[in-house]
Amino acid sequence: MVFWEEEIETLPRTGIRGLQVSRMKAAINQARKAPFYQQLYEELDITPEKFNKVEDIRDFPFTTKEDLRTNFPYGFLAVDRKNVVRLHSSSGTTGNPTVVFHTRDDLDNWANLIARNLFMVGVRDTDVFQNICGYGLFTGGLGFQYGAEKLGALTVPAGAGNTKRQIKLICDYGTSAIHTIPSYVMRLVSEMESMGVSPRDTALRVMVIGAEPHTEEQRQRVEQSIGIKAFNSYGLSEMCGPGVAFECEYQSGLHIWEDSFLVEIIDPDTLQPVPEGETGELVLTTLNRQANPLIRYRTRDLTRAVPGDCRCGRTHMLLDRIHGRTDDMFIIRGCNVFPMQVEKVLLQFPEVDSHYVIHLETNEGVDQMIIDVEIKSDWFTDNYASLEHLQKRIARDVRDEVLVTPIVRLVEAGSMPASGGKAVRVVDNRESGRGN
Ligand code: AMP
Ligand code: ZN
């Protein structure tokens, strides 16, 4: 078995907890240098002396995305501005965006985490690693770029989109590893097919997919379409970006790196820890970030701790794939629905391609869920009766899952516009807004 950093990756649990306590004391001191925490912790008399065991974190207040927005842009900055070498920021189409700053050490630690993850799934310095995602303010581009370079791979900064060019790069340079968002893989594969390139004839041997929610069904489709394994990569800009948690070769959960993050899973209503193994909101604390430390940050992502030890020998906690976010659940006609529940049903139909959008609309005062879904070209016949039959079966299975009967509209594969970035799964145009 091979590790990037064996000692830290296989540290016994007691060692992890000890490391967390000592790093947490330093993190509290560091956080107190940021205007937001300085004021808050002075008011509440919070000092590093108050933190002596991991559970003491429960006495600390939470930090929310709203706090980041309200204190935009420098309220969370904990170092002198001359020591900041980069920022990343979320798009923020409404109100203030959120911004995260990095010192040189922050960037080094982040690159090291990505290298650790890539090594874990078998990427080596002999690989050609093509990074198919947006560069710029989005963290997936530069994050993976520097991580793969640190590992020593020949890194191709391909960026997002321009599928034909992506395929040419894969063929020209013998790309053996790629990173991209899951909703893009099927576009890549169908373009390969139309160009007469068989994915199995390329040098591709490992794939990393992340940055957006996806189901196990989607992963399996992606894996089968190229004939290689696809590993789930999770992260968020506020913690650094990708690299926070990653699947190992066993794909039975994502190891979240507890030398860098203190992990809690809470009930988003009561704000208390959930019983072990139950689903709740992931709350993370940065343990070694200098420029932008965050303590008890509510990620809004829903997951659960996977119990038991991992066969790979790594001791860091396993998280289940992200089921969704507290804020992407919508309520329609009194039923709570997560987009991933709908995806799971859709992808059980072999006729269904991987693109879909859920539209929420109000028609004559009644809220409706309309699902536009792409059907693979070879199934998309002009036999109206068979399409109608398929439509009904999909509607029925979605209703059984979410208790609301949708209107299903079938469209031919390739006819829905590709966004180029993270897929938009829900468009809510209801008169009542989000229905809650
Ligand atoms: P951003 O910081 O804008 O890149 O967005 C981070 C968010 O993307 C996370 O909080 C998650 O909601 C989502 N995300 C990132 N990676 C994954 C993943 N592997 N599975 C599901 N959701 C993810
Ligand atoms: Zn493992």
The single-letter code of the amino acid at 436 is: N
- For residue 254, the ligand closest to its alpha carbon is 2
| Distance between Cα 373 and ligand 2 center (Å) | 35
| Distance between Cα 108 and ligand 1 center (Å) | 21
Instruction: Tell me the HSE value of 57 on the side-chain side, using a 13 A CA sphere.
Output: 30
3-class DSSP string for 350-419: CCEEEEEEEEEEEECCEEEEEEEEEECCCCCCCCHHHHHHHHHHHHHHHHHHHCCCCEEEEEECCCCCCC
Closest atom of ligand 1 to 301 CA is 12
Q: Beta 335-337 vs 352-363: how paired, if at all?
A: unpaired
| Distance between Cα 295 and ligand 2 center (Å) | 26
| Distance between Cα 80 and ligand 1 center (Å) | 29
**C-alpha–C-alpha distance, residues 235 and 118, integer Å:** 14
**C-alpha–C-alpha distance, residues 120 and 255, integer Å:** 10
Q: State the Rg of the chain over Cα.
A: 22
Q: Whose CA is nearest to atom 5 of ligand 1?
A: 236
Contact (CB, 8 A) for 169 and 130: yes
In this prediction, residue 433 carries a pLDDT of 58
Q: H or E element: which one contains 156?
A: strand 154-156
Contact (CB, 8 A) for 290 and 107: no
DSSP, collapsed to helix, strand or coil, labels residue 44 as: helix
In this prediction, residue 435 carries a pLDDT of 44
For ligand 2, a single-atom ion, the residues with CB < 5 A are 248, 310, 312, 314
| Distance between Cα 274 and ligand 2 center (Å) | 23
Side-by-side strand order, sheet with 280-286: 261-266, 280-286, 297-303, 324-325
DSSP, collapsed to helix, strand or coil, labels residue 99 as: strand
Domains defined along the chain, listed by start: 6-327 (3.40.50.12780), 335-428 (3.30.300.30)
**C-alpha–C-alpha distance, residues 38 and 32, integer Å:** 4
- For residue 245, the ligand closest to its alpha carbon is 1
Burial of 429 (0-12, 13-18, 19+ CB in 10 A): exposed
Reading the chain (436 residues) residue by residue, the pLDDT tens digits are 689 999 999 999 999 999 999 999 999 999 999 999 999 999 999 999 989 999 999 999 999 999 999 999 999 999 999 999 999 998 655 567 899 999 999 999 999 999 999 999 999 999 999 999 999 999 999 999 999 999 999 999 999 999 999 999 999 999 999 999 998 998 899 999 999 999 999 999 999 999 999 999 999 999 999 999 999 999 999 999 999 999 999 999 999 999 999 999 999 999 999 999 999 999 999 999 999 999 999 999 999 999 999 999 999 999 999 988 888 889 998 889 999 999 999 999 999 998 999 999 999 888 999 999 999 988 887 788 999 999 999 999 999 999 999 999 999 988 888 777 888 899 999 987 544 4
**C-alpha–C-alpha distance, residues 429 and 369, integer Å:** 10
CA-CA-CA-CA torsion sign (12, 13, 19, 22)? negative
Which residue's structure tokens are 């927005």? 69
DSSP, collapsed to helix, strand or coil, labels residue 202 as: coil
Q: Whose CA is nearest to atom 4 of ligand 1?
A: 236
Q: Which of 279, 286, 292, 301 to mutate to test the pocket of ligand 1 (most atoms within 8 A of CB)?
A: 301
- For residue 306, the ligand closest to its alpha carbon is 2
- Before 61, cis peptide (omega within 30)? no
Residue 432 φ/ψ region, left for φ over 0, alpha for ψ in the -120 to 50 degree band, beta for the rest: alpha
Ligand 1 lining (C-beta closer than 6 Å): 90, 139, 210-213, 232-237, 299, 301, 322, 325
Contact (CB, 8 A) for 420 and 161: yes
